[in-house]
Chains A and B, each alone.
Chain A
Amino acid sequence: QKEVEQDPGPLSVPEGAIVSLNCTYSNSAFQYFMWYRQYSRKGPELLMYTYSSGNKEDGRFTAQVDKSSKYISLFIRDSQPSDSATYLCATAGGSNYKLTFGKGTLLTVNP
């Protein structure tokens, strides 16, 4: 079983929709959970970061971690065409400088 599983999509939604992106992970030692956003022909950039379980909100974005079910979610409210990108979940554990990435989900928000 791969350490981090992420549905690659693609996912296409109309502007204004609520988007839900999800990952599951297998290693209970993971404590740090990240979402990176990658625009076409660019490197990934950190969007949200959560330590352990719980929710974190930043504007239209909410990250959720449920360690009991090893489930990571990213919600985007009022999605915009500028949100069109690949979203990568990532985790880190004891050796916290090494990240384990999901394969990424390609999201397209249509005007």
Chain B
Amino acid sequence: DVKVTQSSRYLVKRTGEKVFLECVQDMDHENMFWYRQDPGLGLRLIYFSYDVKMKEKGDIPEGYSVSREKKERFSLILESASTNQTSMYLCASSLLGGRATYNEQFFGPGTRLTVL
């Protein structure tokens, strides 16, 4: 079974703190993704990575950065946390695939981050 794990289920931080969210997958997937999920807004893509050290901005990258030094690990960084970054953060991974195929995204359990 594909397993995507996230470092914390619940996290409480203060405004201005630097926050690291870690995600690890064990299926040798090329693609990894960070989403945030908010009531009424659904899932929104923050960043994704299709290879080690490669990254692309998603729909809402402002206030976030990412790091992918190893294939299995993808980190989301909040340089200076703000209250509007309080949310559920979901990591996902998938095979690279080709244009003729779709590859399922497997999600982790999520990290509920509260910024006070």
Contacts and interface: CB of A to CB of B under 8 A. Distances in A.
A94 B104 CA distance: 15
B42 A44 contact: no
Interface of A: 6, 8, 32, 34, 41-46, 49, 51, 88, 92, 94, 96-99, 101-104
Nearest to A50: B102
A43 B103 contact: no
A92 B99 CA distance: 11
Interface of B: 4, 31, 40-43, 45, 48, 50, 58, 90, 92, 94, 96-97, 99, 101-110
B14 to A, nearest CB: 24
Nearest to B9: A41
13 contacts: A32-B102, A43-B107, A43-B108, A43-B110, A45-B107, A46-B104, A49-B102, A51-B102, A97-B48, A99-B105, A101-B43, A103-B41, A104-B43
